[in-house]
Amino acid sequence: MVIGGGFGGLKVARRLARRDVDITLIDRVNHHLFQPLLYQVGTGILAGGQIAPALRDLFVARENVRVVLAEVEAVDLEARTVTAVAGGELTLPYDILVVAAGARDSYFGHDEWERDAPGMKSLDDAFRIRTRILSAFELAETAASPAERDAWLTFVIVGAGPTGVELAGQIAYLSRHTLAGHYRSIRSEAARIILLDGAPSVLPSFRERLRGKADAELRRLGIEIRVKTTATSVDAHGIDIDGPDGADRIEAHTVLWAAGVEASPLARVLAHASGAEVDRSGRLAIAPDLTLPGHPEVFAIGDMVALEAVPGVAQAALQEGGYVAKVISSRLDGKSAPGPFHYRDKGSMAIVGRSWAVADVRGLQLAGRRAWLIWAVIHIAFLVDWQKRLEIVRRWFWEFVTHDRHERVISYVSLLPDELARAEVESVRRRLASGESGGEASGQ
Amino acid sequence: MVIGGGFGGLKVARRLARRDVDITLIDRVNHHLFQPLLYQVGTGILAGGQIAPALRDLFVARENVRVVLAEVEAVDLEARTVTAVAGGELTLPYDILVVAAGARDSYFGHDEWERDAPGMKSLDDAFRIRTRILSAFELAETAASPAERDAWLTFVIVGAGPTGVELAGQIAYLSRHTLAGHYRSIRSEAARIILLDGAPSVLPSFRERLRGKADAELRRLGIEIRVKTTATSVDAHGIDIDGPDGADRIEAHTVLWAAGVEASPLARVLAHASGAEVDRSGRLAIAPDLTLPGHPEVFAIGDMVALEAVPGVAQAALQEGGYVAKVISSRLDGKSAPGPFHYRDKGSMAIVGRSWAVADVRGLQLAGRRAWLIWAVIHIAFLVDWQKRLEIVRRWFWEFVTHDRHERVISYVSLLPDELARAEVESVRRRLASGESGGEASGQ
């Protein structure tokens, strides 16, 4: 059984699907998400379906794979069962369990900030961020006072890692180009975009030369960079920060969060059940062969685990998934297990502008359009299906030529804060699943 | 000033934009919706952005047109102002007012049914219906009992006009082809699809020969048709109906509503202010030149008005929009007004299967693939922009060849009932717009 259809879980399931085993793949959404392109959904370039193939589609020809749309709530390591909630509660047995449940945004103990500073981990998040960004310009256009207008035209991105830098660059491009000339009371180009990070520079995980180049490009795009600066409070009207120049307040109706992640709560569930440890980010400590200590039949991989010198990136999850598939395969064949997992760093990249990136690949440090081309080729190559590849390349080409963006729908629904939506869905589910279905239904 | 960016309002604005006048176009969403293709979004073929161009995009080159994203709440005919709510309340003056606010689903006095039987008038509705349909198959797969499974695999569509017929046909196709073989515990092909209408046949607005052909094609697709049958109650678990065979109950978790529309509440607002009348569907009675009686400076067009022998369809709204633009133009030129509005019926069409339609065009009655081709050509021709045309044709071609659908994302958010979402957005807006912004904000 595999929990999670992200990069790691999908890799395990695809590799093992060819073997004579029964696989149950559980996810709480019905799609695999190609997260590296999520910011393009969040900023109106791509449609959701273009980066999110239905998990069922990927396994339709594999009769031995069963996809279950449900949210895992508990794991019983003794009974070897997983409890998950769909319409009702399901209890599913396993022989071998691979947990690849990923990570979510971390607010460092201030979960109440999520409402006013949404992060971007799921498609829902991306739709919500798209609505927030586009609505901000609309509400600036009809603002009652200059102060209100300025607050709507101020965008603060907390966290200057790859996601924060991508978002800042895209908002800059939207305001300076895509939306230029669209409004009558405001100039969208005047939008103020502020990127802040507690580290001493943007893209702290990159080497110094690329950090400097990225910093210069971001400033050229008109983005204000505040480093060594942290958020001390976030509300609907702005953000309080603390930095080298002391405490400050920025009035802004749009604050986006890209400051850090914490492991899926399932990491704690497994830790609690097995006595394993979790680190400060809630990530599970696992053995060198990626198993849960004392439980060779349970693997955990991806962003929810802590492994020395392995970053929380897609390529790590993919490599771990491949490794786990190999371990399980060798057990099926009765062969000896391969050695411990070893991570091979294939480099890292970040998009800074529209067609400007930094790339650190096999010792080569590139910045600019060349790096962007490499980024584009690699990301298109990793997409799971051909039709999506073609459509995305076409949209990119169109956007490149016309500066136009086609996913600009502002939806009532996506304005909703996440936790509220989930709570509501929860209650709808319970209502549907409840015993009520019998007697009173026809009595209305 | 034009209220509403649908077919009618957009036509007026586009025609008059070339004249030396200032136009304010108000809509509560930021896009024009190409409603005839909405069912394709609702069933996963197209992405939202593909049928919904941003209104601002359409007028970016027209400096004299101002697009305002706001919900109109009141019209003061004496002061000649419109009050609308965006971030805060706006009061906008007008010289000439064109109200084209459209219609919404009518539950014939049972608005409480909306939660369990959503209609399809907006993109939000379509996303919600897509989520409901796709989730139903998922929840059938994990259902705890055969009765629950069957209720998830039963789809009831209330109303067998063009929209109901399109939805029924698409669900049939989804279950019989697109999703076939995707599940392990259920056969999606076994889905039961019931189409009901109070009229004595499907597509009651069509001529008898085409009604008969459509009926036969729907039955061939495995759809159960119940005519002369009305809904007497709807709840989360099913629907009570009354028909020729007496009262009956259908256990179904998915009930979709396509049974009728009622005019926008703005029709009543105008009626109340001017003393004009509204009919049973809330549609406003207007003069033969489409003005509000006693108010030659106020026009009302489209689905929100009642005109004898004019159906509530896109082509009527388009013709009315063109007519109003002509009347206003002749006033600007100081010429005499054209004669009263005269509707020219250019025919009607309905999609029954995947590439099967009925068309009644200039006396010609067609059924089958030829009618579908005509439908496809006309609908593509009427789309407002070229890139969308190309993308849609490509998606259709792809779906035609592979039976595959690319917009299959099930979103947490879109599971939410509409009225809840709106209430929540309302409260978010109020919170943002409220006086709170000053003092306490930084005090947290």
- Which residue in the list B114, B166, B208, B277 is annotated as catalytic? B166
Q: Are A406 and A44 a contacting pair, CB within 8 Å?
A: yes
For residue B240 the two structure tokens come to 């009570």
For residue A223, give the 3-state DSSP assignment.
strand
Q: Is the same domain home to A238 and A269? A: no
Q: Is the same domain home to A207 and A125? A: yes
Residue B45 CB coordination number (10 Å): 26
Interface mutation vs chain A, best among B69, B133, B142, most A CBs within 10 Å? B142
Provide, as residue numbers in chain B, all residues whose Cβ is less than 8 Å from the Cβ of A57.
182, 404, 408
Residue B418 has pLDDT above 50, yes or no: no
Residue B143 contacts A where some CB pair is shorter than 8 Å: yes
**ipTM score of the complex?**
0.83
Distance CA A348, CA A365 (A): 10
- The whole-number average pLDDT for the span B368-379 is 88
For residue A119 the two structure tokens come to 């992060």
- The whole-number average pLDDT for the span B118-144 is 89
Distance CA A400, CA B352 (A): 39
Q: Are B263 and B103 a contacting pair, CB within 8 Å?
A: yes
Split at pLDDT 50, 70, 90, the class of A421 is very low
Start-to-end CA span in chain A (Å):
43
Structural domain contains residue B74: yes
Q: Is the same domain home to A155 and A206? A: yes
Q: Is the same domain home to A221 and A284? A: no
Residue A16 confidence (pLDDT): 97
Phi-psi region of B380 (alpha: psi -120 to 50; beta: other; left: phi over 0): alpha
- The whole-number average pLDDT for the span B327-341 is 94
Mean pLDDT of chain B: 87
Q: Is the same domain home to A130 and A235? A: yes
Residue A359 confidence (pLDDT): 93
Mean pLDDT of chain A: 87
DSSP annotation string for B146-175 = HHHHHHHTEEEEE--SHHHHHHHHHHHHII
Provide, as residue numbers in chain B, all residues whose Cβ is less than 8 Å from the Cβ of A143.
87-88
Q: Do A87 and B142 touch (CB under 8 A)?
A: yes
Name the minimum distance, in Å, from the CA of B66 to any CA of chain A: 6
The arrangement of strands across the sheet holding A291-292 comes to A65-69, A23-27, A2-3, A97-99, A295-300, A291-292
Q: Is the same domain home to A116 and A253? A: yes
CATH number where A249 lies: 3.50.50.100
Q: Do B413 and A127 touch (CB under 8 A)?
A: yes
Residue B78 confidence (pLDDT): 96
Split at pLDDT 50, 70, 90, the class of A386 is low
Residue A405 confidence (pLDDT): 67
**CA-closest candidate to residue B427, choices A115, A252, A134, A137:** A115
Rg, Å, chain B Cα set: 23
Residue B361 confidence (pLDDT): 86
Pick the last residue of a domain from A242, A259, A276: A259
Provide, as residue numbers in chain A, all residues whose Cβ is less than 8 Å from the Cβ of B416.
413, 416, 421, 424-425, 428
Residue A426 has pLDDT above 80, yes or no: no
For A333-382, how does the pLDDT look when each residue is reduced to its tens digit (9 = 90+)?
999 989 999 999 888 899 998 889 999 988 889 999 999 888 888 887 77
Residue B63 confidence (pLDDT): 93
The arrangement of strands across the sheet holding B230-235 comes to B230-235, B238-243, B246-251
Residue A404 confidence (pLDDT): 65
Name the minimum distance, in Å, from the CA of B65 to any CA of chain A: 8
The arrangement of strands across the sheet holding A192-196 comes to A223-226, A192-196, A154-158, A254-257
CATH number where B6 lies: 3.50.50.60
Distance CA B219, CA A420 (A): 42
Residue B197 confidence (pLDDT): 97
Structural domains of chain A, count: 2
Structural domain contains residue B290: yes
Site of tokens 């990127």: A195
- The whole-number average pLDDT for the span A412-441 is 42
- Which residue in the list A166, A320, A399, A407 is annotated as catalytic? A166
Closest to B54 (Cβ–Cβ): which among A63, A233, A408? A408
Structural domain contains residue B96: yes
**Which B residues, 80 through 109, put their C-beta within 8 Å of a C-beta on chain A?**
86-88, 90
Residue A335 CB coordination number (10 Å): 9
Structural domain contains residue B125: no
Q: Alpha helix locations (H) across B304-367?
A: 314-332
Q: Is the same domain home to A130 and A72? A: no
Q: Are A131 and A414 a contacting pair, CB within 8 Å?
A: yes
Task: Name the amino acid, one letter, at A186.
Answer: I
For A169-191, how does the pLDDT look when each residue is reduced to its tens digit (9 = 90+)?
999 999 998 899 999 999 999 99
φ, ψ dihedrals at A290, nearest 5°:
65, 20
Q: Do B50 and A406 touch (CB under 8 A)?
A: yes
Distance CA A163, CA A260 (A): 10
Residue A389 has pLDDT above 50, yes or no: yes
Residue B42 confidence (pLDDT): 86
For A110-141, how does the pLDDT look when each residue is reduced to its tens digit (9 = 90+)?
999 998 999 999 888 888 888 889 889 999 99
For residue B223 the two structure tokens come to 């759809």
Domain span holding position B80? 2-28+70-105+261-332
Residue B148 has pLDDT above 60, yes or no: yes
Compare all CA atoms of chain A with the CA of B63 and give the residue at the minimum distance.
Answer: A184
Q: Is the same domain home to A124 and A231? A: yes
E-state strands within B40-124: 65-69, 71-76, 81-85, 89-93, 97-99, 103-105
User: Higher-confidence residue: A326 or A354?
Assistant: A326
The residues facing A108 across adjacent strands are none
Residue B423 confidence (pLDDT): 46
Residue B437 has pLDDT above 50, yes or no: no
Residue B110 confidence (pLDDT): 93
Structural domain contains residue B279: yes
For A273-324, how does the pLDDT look when each residue is reduced to its tens digit (9 = 90+)?
999 999 999 999 999 999 999 999 999 999 999 998 898 889 999 999 999 9
- The whole-number average pLDDT for the span B7-23 is 96
Structural domain contains residue A315: yes
β-pairing, B23-27 with B2-3? parallel
Lowest mean pLDDT among A128-132, B103-107, B274-278: A128-132
Q: Is the same domain home to A115 and A253? A: yes
Structural domain contains residue A226: yes
Structural domain contains residue A342: no
Residue A438 has pLDDT above 80, yes or no: no
For residue B360, give the 3-state DSSP assignment.
strand
Residue B444 has pLDDT above 50, yes or no: no
Cβ partners under 8 Å of residue B230, min gap 6 = B196, B198, B241, B242, B243
Q: Is the same domain home to A99 and A130? A: no
- The whole-number average pLDDT for the span A103-108 is 93
Pick the last residue of a domain from A303, A332, A361: A332
DSSP annotation string for A170-209 = HHHHIIIIITTT--SSS-GGG-EEEEE-SSSSSSTTS-HH
**Which A residues, 300 through 339, put their C-beta within 8 Å of a C-beta on chain B?**
none
Distance CA A302, CA A7 (A): 8
Residue A439 has pLDDT above 50, yes or no: no
Name the minimum distance, in Å, from the CA of A150 to any CA of chain B: 13
Pick the last residue of a domain from A298, A332, A366: A332
Residue B88 confidence (pLDDT): 80
Lowest mean pLDDT among A16-20, A416-420, B200-204, B207-211: A416-420
Q: Are A265 and A148 a contacting pair, CB within 8 Å?
A: no
Residue A45 confidence (pLDDT): 83
For A53-93, how does the pLDDT look when each residue is reduced to its tens digit (9 = 90+)?
889 988 989 999 999 999 999 999 999 999 998 878 899 99
Residue B128 contacts A where some CB pair is shorter than 8 Å: yes
Distance CA B431, CA A237 (A): 10
DSSP annotation string for A77-139 = TTTTEEEEESSSEEEEE-SSEEE---EEE--TT-GGGTTTS---SSHHHHHHHHHHHHHHHHH
- The whole-number average pLDDT for the span B110-119 is 91
Distance CA B37, CA B366 (A): 20
Residue A441 has pLDDT above 70, yes or no: no
Q: Are A419 and A128 a contacting pair, CB within 8 Å?
A: no
Helix H or strand E encompassing A261: strand A261-263
Residue A414 contacts B where some CB pair is shorter than 8 Å: yes
β-pairing, A71-76 with B348-351? unpaired
Q: Is A419 a catalytic residue?
A: no
Residue A87 confidence (pLDDT): 77
